[in-house]
Amino acid sequence: MTPKTSRRSFLKGAAAAAGAALFIGARPDGALAASSSDAMLNPFVKIDSEGNVTAIIKHFEKGQGPATGLSTLIAEELGLRMDQIHYAFAPSNPQVYNNLLFGPFQGTGGSTAMANSFMQYRQAGAAARELLIKSAAEAWGVDPAGLSIEEGMVVGAGRSAPIGDFVAAAAQMEPPAEPRLKSPEEWRIIGNESTRRLDSVIKGNGKAKFAMDVHLDNQMVVVIARPEQRGAMATGFDDSAAKEVKGFINAAVLPNKAGVAVYAENTWAAIQAREALSVTWDTSAAETRSSDEIRAEIMAALDAEPEYNVLKKDHAETLAAIEGAAQVIEKTFYFPLLAHAPMEPLNCTIEQTAEGDIVLHDGAQMPTGPHMAFQQIFGLPAEKIHINTMLAGGSFGRRATPDADYQVEAALAFVMTDRSRPVKLVWTREDDLRSGYYRPAFGHKVRVGLSAEGEILGWDHRIAGQSIMKGTAFEAFAVHDGVDGSSVEGVSDTPYRVPGMFVGLTDTKKATSTLWWRSVGHTHTAYAMEVMMDLAAKAAGRDPVEFRLVHLAGGGADQARKAAVLKLAAEKAGWGKAQAGRHMGVAVHKSFGSYAAEVVEISGTAEDGFRIEKVTAAVDCGIPVNPDIIRAQMEGGIGYGIGHAMRDQITLAGGAVEQYNFPDYEPLRIGDIGAIEVHIVKSTEAPTGIGEPGTPPSAPALANAIAAASALTVADLPMVEHGVSFA
């Protein structure tokens, strides 16, 4: 049973029950502050008089490990063992918890969790340490310089006492403006291979509570009857057959006409009643196109002069350089629509408290989105809306829609009731695949001119597809001079030294709702860049690794870091020494501030099918805070990239999505990749993203391995639809 309280009051309540407490957090102006309650600040850490330490996690946990990562930072500075720290998710409060990289928007995305919190959480832990030591020194009448905190005890001057004894006094003190952070030589937990995830046990025994597991007293379950054709509007329905379903309550057209809400006593009744409902749709403004038409529009755009000259270079110069080249290689790539398909279908639950507040129980990735939308829908001030952030069964970007799509849908379904019963919105897998938000389809057309010696003379790179950021709250942040940076990232900012590079972009018409998908633009740009690098290397008669290194040589730190992961992956994979019957392909890419190189080794033939025997990866993501979580994220990112490249796509016919469920959007399966080995570069740079950077190089490395094995360069995804089979 989920209690009828918000996370915020839960934290306050816990503090009151345990007596004195010390909170260290940020004031609204961003300065660090100490307090005996969290009323005036948003805390990063709470320590109660029993000595219980709770890290307050402002980023949401969808499997990528911020709960463990941020707790690690606090535990390190506070001198705790990992089993001495707990965590809780932060309430939605964008003023204080804003993601430093996103502006006033509390969210997790762009692999920023560790990057922006690395200083903040260490400072909070360090400030707590200094205050507790200071208050112990005062109590004991000794010099604080001789005291330290070890495993939850203040020790020194021949005495020791639990930290909880000092929280009351510490909470009255002003924290130091610049607490002394432990130096890397003093770290025992940061970078420690043996640190385990804090959530492993509850996720292995069924006790972890996901949003889907919320059961509030007297709740109704609602599912939405949706149109086949995207964008059709509900005009009415006949529920006479639905009335035969036991547990069906009623149905109502959503205020925005996007569908019909079907209310029932439980999930199965709701699903059954929806089956039985017949809805009439107005399709006059609905999408009617098919994937082939969307593809044709993209292909035509690639052949026309691009809408945007991304690098502001002279296109004629690039064209002339290619014209005069000894060899020209050309390739046109197509990347289909993709669904995110997180394992836990989307859902959330809304209830109204006795005081008229609204509580949303949600695996919210960007709580600010629903928080702002709900103020409008319910006409309530921000403080009357509470978001209980639950565990999320994956996201890959899907739970972070700028328009808070599914939370708004639940709110609309809730406002149509008398609000006496909580409403739980459940999406089925069919809803997820057919009515969702997609990685937009993109095309790339690349022409590269090489000199007789194999030097790149010109690189004409055109990209066309539907913008993700335009028309969203992120437009100001991501769109400059008309160019949606997320459409070209990974090409326009490539660390390769590419002489004569021109990057052109054309936005195509809206076909579906689009959304960032694990690694955003890099999902297609890395593929085009890295397959082209292999084709260019081949044309130049050079080894693919060596050719890439040539184009990374003599540059700055960016090139050096990219070259280093490439060399490391090649060395660990035994590049150039594949055993008989095996072939290797390589790709390296920078995204979210991190560098990842991957070597894919395959066996088999085009006729009998290929098998991925091994993926060897190297990653540089700055200081590795939790090495094993980095490894796990790389493994997952590689699997996600490869699985979709192998066989997944969303297609439209007459405006309707053709896929229904996993049987026609087949997930990566356990046997698809024989082994993954991840090597982490030792680094002293600030930590950068790890949730996404594993994905971009994985598919092009596979494509390059297939090209090495078969002279088949796959430029159209998914691979199984374009001449490749897998054993």
The answer to whether the Cα torsion of 483, 486, 487, 488 is positive or negative is positive
- Residue 422 binding ligand FES, by CB under 6 A: no
Is residue 441 at the binding interface for another protein, with CB under 8 A as the rule? Answer: no
As given in the structure block, the two tokens for residue 613 are 């025997």
CA 612 to chain CA centroid, Å, is 25
Residue partners of 480: CB distance under 8 A and separation at least 6: none
Q: Pull the structure tokens for residue 499.
A: 């002489």
Bridge partner residues of 603 (DSSP): 582, 611
Q: How far apart (Å, rounded) are the C-alpha atoms in residues 41 and 27?
A: 5
Q: Which amino acid is at 220?
A: M
Is residue 668 a contact residue for another protein (CB under 8 A)? yes
Strands 442-450 and 456-465: antiparallel
Query: Does residue 718 have a cis peptide bond before it, meaning omega lies within 30 degrees of 0?
Result: yes
Three-class SS state of 605: strand
Residue 150's nearest CA partner among 72, 85, 79 is: 79
Nearest distance from residue 661's CB to another protein, in Å? 5
Quick count: other Cβ atoms within 10 Å of Cβ 205?
A: 8
Strand boundaries in 63-152, DSSP class E:
85-89, 148-150
Region binding another protein by CB under 8 A among candidate stretches 402-410, 484-492, 625-633, 681-689: 625-633
Phi, psi of 31 (to 5 degrees): -75, 150
Specify the residue, 141 or 663, whose C-beta has the smaller distance to another protein.
Answer: 663
Residue 532 contact, options ligand FES, another protein, none, Cβ 5-8 Å cut-off depending on partner type = none
Q: Of these partners, ligand FES, another protein, none, which one is at the site of residue 667 (CB under 5 to 8 Å by kind)?
A: another protein
Tell me: does residue 267 bind another protein (CB under 8 A).
yes
CB of 63 to ligand FES, least distance (A): 5
| Shortest CB 343 distance to ligand FES, Å | 4
Tell which residue, 440, 223, 259, has the closest CA to residue 347. 223
* One residue of 4, 182, 209, 313 binding another protein per CB under 8 A: 209
**The binder of ligand FES chosen from 40, 202, 343, 476 (CB under 6 A):** 343
203 part of the interface to another protein, by CB under 8 A: yes
- 394 binds another protein per the rule CB under 8 A: yes
Using CB under 6 A, which of 91, 110, 394, 465 touches ligand FES? 394
Helix (H) / strand (E) element for 71: namely helix 66-78
Tokens of 659: 């896929």
Residue 669 as a binder of another protein (CB under 8 A): the answer is yes
Q: CA-CA distance, 198 to 72, in Å (whole number)?
A: 10
Residue 669 binding partner per list another protein, ligand FES, none, with a CB distance cut-off of 5 to 8 Å that depends on partner kind: another protein
The whole-angstrom separation of Cα 660 and Cα 433 is 6
Q: Does residue 392 bind another protein (CB under 8 A)?
A: yes
Interacting stretch for another protein, rule CB under 8 A, among 165-173, 197-205, 249-257, 444-452? 197-205
Q: Which does 211 bind (CB under 5 to 8 A by kind): another protein, ligand FES, none?
A: none
Query: What is the number of H-type helices and E-type strands within the chain?
Result: 18, 30
Contact of residue 671 among ligand FES, another protein, none (CB under 5-8 Å per partner type): another protein
Part of the chain binding another protein (CB under 8 A), chosen from 195-203, 280-288, 294-302, 374-382: 195-203
Residues 62-91 that bind ligand FES (CB under 6 A): 63
* Residue choice 297, 620, 635, 648 for contact with another protein (CB under 8 A): 635
Residues that bind ligand FES (CB under 6 A): 63, 343, 394
Residues that bind another protein (CB under 8 A): 62-65, 196-197, 199-210, 212-213, 215, 221, 246, 266-268, 271, 341-345, 391-396, 428-429, 628-629, 632-633, 635-640, 643, 661-663, 667-676
